Amino acid sequence: MSTPLLQVKDLEVAFRTQTGLVQAVRGVSFTLERGSSLAIVGESGSGKSTTAHAIINLLPGTGHISGGQVLLDGEDLAKASQKEMEEIRGRKIGFVPQDPMSNLNPVWSIGFQVEEAIRANGIASGRKEVKQRAIQVLKEAGLHDADRRLKQFPHQFSGGMRQRVLIGMGLAANPQLLIADEPTSALDVTVQRVILDHLESLTRELGTTLLFITHDLGLAAERAEQLLVMYKGQVVESGPSAQILQNPQHPYTQRLVAAAPSLASRRIQATGSISAAESAIATDASSAAGEAIDLIATAEARAEALEAAASQPPAIVVENLTKVFKIRGSGDFTAVDDVSFQIAKGTTTALVGESGSGKSTVAKMLLKLEDATSGKIVVGGHDLASVSGREMFGLRSRMQPVFQDPYGSLNPLRNIGNTIAEPLTTHKIGTAASRRERVFELLDQVSLPRTLVSRYPNELSGGQRQRIAIARALALKPEIVILDEAVSALDVLVQAQILRLLAELQAELNLTYLFITHDLAVVRVIADNVCVMQKGRIVEAATTDEVFDNPKEQYTRDLLAAIPGANIKLGA
């Protein structure tokens, strides 16, 4: 047998910091045979991207390989000189980076950046030849009008198009190995599927070996033959994809499989503090029977609650809502087009769609951060169009938002206590002492220690920050919470925690949620009803089960089919 294409042996990567060396990757080993595919899975900070960067020797900042070997065709890349690495990159190892928005130089045209890669790897020489090859590369990557768009700049391309350009650049020199570092994480699901399908057929055609880095277990299993699960810089489990998904051995992998929303199939049923999802995670043979009964009981309780809610007046009524933006030079743009829906008290309605579908604009109009062009929004019996400023102020206390980015939505200069208490002070509720008491109560509700009160946002993790944002939203005891991509920026395990928390809070406080997301997988575990939006219109609206089991619109079917790992059967 020939030597494997890539052999990583006991790879260690360290970063120098002020407090000494920090090990980011500890003793990672794996082998990649020619023409095979391997996915490294893990949450942020697990060292999966660092491993990828170590292979091509492009570690950021003070990062360096502190031990082990990276053997490409038997040659140790860890010891290669800068010049040798420059020969290997592009030619032997192609790289497709994570974020299409930041990985193209904004000041150079697309053509320039592709041609530069072709010239650097000696694929072609001479202006005409290089340009021909650039067009060919881009066409192969799925950019059909490449010849026309060579002169355009990155900002004139959509995210999906940019990712195609990056894939084209990565494959420009027909490398033997392609490292794809979260190549589609920043993209809409349907775009993601198209791009990954294309990448798959392209690499199969060229016989390229694929090393795939992702945080999405379902995606990894679907796209790679072998899986490597990383946690805190170490490999915790590796083997054939199907085997790992169906029979995870390591506790971390088990939790990851249980939490992956793309693999889950039921709405979280909250009963008090123990939720179905949590029990599912804890499942072992002895308690399985008891859990099953519990599941049925909670499902029935949920169904009763929904029936009760249906008999009350709805919390939110939206009728024929339309929003038109005036765009200088190119006329009007209808972001939201004749949208109508109702949300019953104590239930969750998900608004699903890809970026640009108008879902966030609906949320902004509901919160009256944006005025509707036409149509009606009734919240708790008040028509938003006719409420006075003072009434709106009162109404805002009953309707609170949680936004997507937990890093951007907390003021870094205010400590956690003040952040959570801010809605209370704004609405002049209680005394300083009672507000402090309420802050403690809220921290308890979102399962954070009370000691966080005096800490600042930069000291907290993303998941903790999102909990703070939720606590702030709950401070005024609102009836309605509008969650705009509130879990999209979080790792799967944290995402599962937050979703569970939301379900529990809903059961406890009878909250009404409008849940805005691009991720249908998340919808399944949190929502009662779903509205699917496309280009500003609601194309399908039904209960979550109906949408998932019996989608009527082609667009919904596309969205569902695009959920990675959706058709992977999990073992018992």
Q: Which stretch binds another protein (CB under 8 A): 163-171, 214-222, 343-351, 559-567?
A: 163-171
What does DSSP say about strands 20-32 and 6-17: parallel, antiparallel, or unpaired? Answer: antiparallel
Q: Is 421 helix (H, G, I), strand (E, B) or coil?
A: helix
The helices-and-strands tally (H runs, E runs) of the chain is 21, 22
Q: Is 75 in the site for another protein (CB under 8 A)?
A: no
Is residue 47 within 8 A of residue 230, CB to CB? The reply is: yes
Taking CB under 8 A as the rule, does residue 278 contact another protein? no
Answer for which of 17, 102, 125, 273 binds another protein (CB under 8 A) is 102
DSSP, collapsed to helix, strand or coil, labels residue 260 as coil
Instruction: Pick from 47, 90, 233, 565 the residue near another protein by CB under 8 A.
Output: 90
Q: How far is the CB of 19 from another protein (least distance, A)?
A: 17
Among 107, 293, 327, 413, binds another protein (CB under 8 A): 107
Binding of residue 326 to another protein (CB under 8 A) = no
Please pick, from the candidates 7, 50, 66, 121, the single residue that binds another protein as defined by CB under 8 A: 121
**Residue 153 interacting with another protein (CB under 8 A):** yes
Count the neighbouring beta carbons within 10 Å of the beta carbon of residue 502.
25
The residue range among 112-120, 137-145, 226-234, 242-250 that interacts with another protein, by the rule CB under 8 A, is 112-120
> Taking a C-beta distance cutoff of 8 angstroms, is the pair 298, 270 a contact?
yes
- How many C-beta neighbours within 10 Å does residue 33 have? 17
Tokens of 478: 């609102």
Q: Which residues contact 388 (CB under 8 A, 6 or more apart)?
A: none
Is residue 166 a contact point for another protein (CB under 8 A)? yes
Choices 103-111, 439-447, 479-487, 541-549; region in contact with another protein by CB under 8 A: 103-111
DSSP string, 40-70: EE--TTSSHHHHHHHHTT---TT-EEEEEEE
Q: DSSP assignment, residue 156?
A: G
**DSSP character at residue 89:** B
Q: Is 138 in the site for another protein (CB under 8 A)?
A: no
* Contact call for residue 165 and another protein (CB under 8 A): no
- Look-up of token digits 């998932």: 548
- Least distance to another protein, CB of residue 166, Å: 7
Judged by CB under 8 A, the chain residues 51 through 70 that form the site for another protein are 53, 56, 58, 60-61
Residues 34 to 53: which contact another protein by CB under 8 A?
53
Q: What residues contact residue 330 under an 8 Å CB cut-off, 6+ apart?
A: none
Only one of the segments 117-125, 303-311, 355-363, 535-543 lies at the binding site for another protein (rule: CB under 8 A); that segment is 117-125
Nearer to another protein, 59 or 521 (CB): 59
Instruction: Give the residue carrying structure tokens 């009953």.
Output: 398
Q: Which one of 63, 111, 170, 423 is in contact with another protein (CB under 8 A)? A: 170
Residue 53 CB neighbours (<10 A): 21
Least distance from C-beta 56 to another protein, angstroms? 6
Determine if 272 is a binding residue for another protein (CB under 8 A): no
**Residues binding another protein: what is the number (CB under 8 A)?**
38
- To another protein, the closest distance from the beta carbon of 91 in angstroms equals 6
Alpha-carbon torsion angle 122, 123, 129, 134, nearest 10: -120
Least gap, CB of 185 to another protein (angstroms): 13
User: Contact with another protein (CB under 8 A): which of 39, 124, 173, 395?
Assistant: 173
Name the CA radius of gyration of the chain, rounded.
25
Please answer whether residues 430 and 411 qualify as being in contact, where contact means their C-beta atoms are separated by less than 8 angstroms: no
- The yes or no reply on residue 125 touching another protein (CB under 8 A) is no
Contact between 91 and another protein (CB under 8 A)? yes
Give the span between the Cα atoms of 322 and 443, in whole angstroms: 38
The torsion angles phi and psi of 377, rounded to 5 degrees, stand at -125, 120
Least distance CB 96 / another protein (angstroms): 9
Residue whose CB is less far from another protein, 206 or 295 = 206
- Owner of token pair 């799925």: 142
* Number of Cβ within a 10 Å radius of residue 439: 23
Contact range with another protein by CB under 8 A, out of 96-104, 241-249, 357-365, 382-390 = 96-104
35 DSSP assignment = T
- The answer to whether residue 183 forms part of the interface with another protein (CB under 8 A) is no
* Region binding another protein by CB under 8 A among candidate stretches 72-80, 166-174, 381-389, 519-527: 166-174
Q: Is 464 exposed, middle or buried, given 0-12, 13-18 or 19+ CB atoms closer than 10 A?
A: buried
| Contacts to another protein by CB under 8 A | 53, 56, 58, 60-61, 82, 86-91, 94-95, 97-99, 102-109, 116-117, 120-121, 153, 155, 166, 169-170, 172-173, 328-329
